[in-house]
Amino acid sequence: MARVALVTGGTRGIGAAISKSLKAAGYDVAANYAGNDQAADAFSKETGIPAYKWSVADYDACVEGIGKVENDLGPIDVLVNNAGITRDGMFHKMTREQWQEVMDTNLSGLFNMTHPLWPGMRDRKFGRVINISSINGQKGQMGQANYSAAKAGDLGFTKSLAQEGAFKGITVNAICPGYIATEMVMAVPEKVRDAIVSQIPVGRLGEPEEIARCVVFLASDEAGFITGSTLTANGGQYMT
């Protein structure tokens, strides 16, 4: 029987690549999304992967959504916390709403999704939790005090929870992508993209599928001895 994987923010960008790659690797996959019904419908028609709509910033919605997924597919073995938003702005102009919205999704979203699944993973003595952080959670970024703080918090969450899950057969790891050729990045002016690429030693943006391959590995049985780790995939732009 195939293991079940749930990918938040799983119908677009990096999340869509992760969902597709997990399905190709033999998992039964569910993709969560927050708001873009048209993109989610197109994704499901293309891939056959069911999409479920709820906000990871809402704990009760997460509990309800997870219940629907498990009712349809069975107990969730692999959780990929990929959903994230940006509300960029220089700190002296940043509003409380910009700060809180990013924290609610990018940091509290990990708690809201992982907490309801944790008891079942412990009972079954198996689980894979993979948190998609960011290069900017490692190095910081001007105009992203909220985003960088949340993504750095994801790493602390990962390391702490890994210690709790290890003796129950649950691994918890993080991936920090660098700049990836998603729709959002490709929409920025070409001069800005060129400036970004000039800072990347391999000389190009990453591809969503390159992050997805990292997820597939960390979700596998072969990665059972890896937990509490942060895998950087940024073309050498920031080395730890």
Catalytic residues: 147
Distance of CA 234 to the CA centre of its chain: 15
Q: What distance in Å separates the CA atoms of residue 113 and residue 109, rounded to the nearest whole number?
A: 6
Sheet holding 28-33, edge to edge: 51-53, 28-33, 4-7, 78-81, 127-132, 170-177, 230-233
In DSSP notation, 173-239 reads EEEEE-SB--HHHHTS-HHHHHHHHTT-TTSS-B-HHHHHHHHHHHHSGGGTT--S-EEEESTTSS-
Six-digit token string for 145 = 């005090």
